[in-house]
Amino acid sequence: MNASSHLYAVAIGSNRRHGRFGRPSGVVEAAISRLDADFDLFDAAPIILNKAVGGAGRDFANSVALVSSKLEPPAMLAAIKRIEREFGRRPGRRWGERVLDLDLAAWDGGRYRALSLTIPHPRLAERDFVLGPLAAVAPDWRIAGPLSVRHLLSRLGKRRPSR
């Protein structure tokens, strides 16, 4: 990665079949391949399956890809939203089913805030389906000041009641 590149953590999710890629886990695999083709893939977490949140319907397949890009955050957001559309994502309910959901969870530039984008993702510390995969590939990445991904995941686990 050269000095003018940025490292991004891209959260990946799917809970709807795709005509070409099949089940959500296949969609996530295809999205990782696409991110690798469009950017420099540094690493990708194993795909996990988990329950949908907020009435999104079917269960999700999730992962996180670490990619390097010369794009600044607004251009990077536009690029991943274009990939979503190419996979068949259409505007709809906020918590509805989706063939592909890509979010900029974090980047190596620290905090970023604009009208349509906040990095780290505003709810990152509440989402084990992002923190878990991110911890698999970058456990020591400092997301919130001195707190690493590993710390945020540990805190989240302590807040949740045991099942």
The closest of 64, 80, 63, 70 to 7, measured between CA atoms, is 70
Strands (E), the chain: 6-14, 40-44, 48-50, 60-69, 101-107, 112-114, 117-119, 142-144, 147-148
Mark whether 103 is an active-site residue.
yes
Q: Which of the residues 16, 34, 101, 127 is marked catalytic?
A: 101
Can 38 be counted among the known catalytic residues? no
59 a catalytic residue: no
Which of the residues 16, 34, 98, 127 is marked catalytic?
98
Q: Among residues 17, 58, 89, 142, which one is catalytic?
A: 89
Q: Are 34 and 89 in contact (CB under 8 A)?
A: no
Active site residue 82: no
Q: CA 43, CA 35: separation in Å to the nearest integer? A: 11
If DSSP codes are grouped into helix, strand and coil, which group holds residue 161? coil
For 105, the 3-state DSSP assignment is: strand
Distance CA 96, CA 92 (A): 7
* Catalytic residue IDs: 89, 98, 101, 103
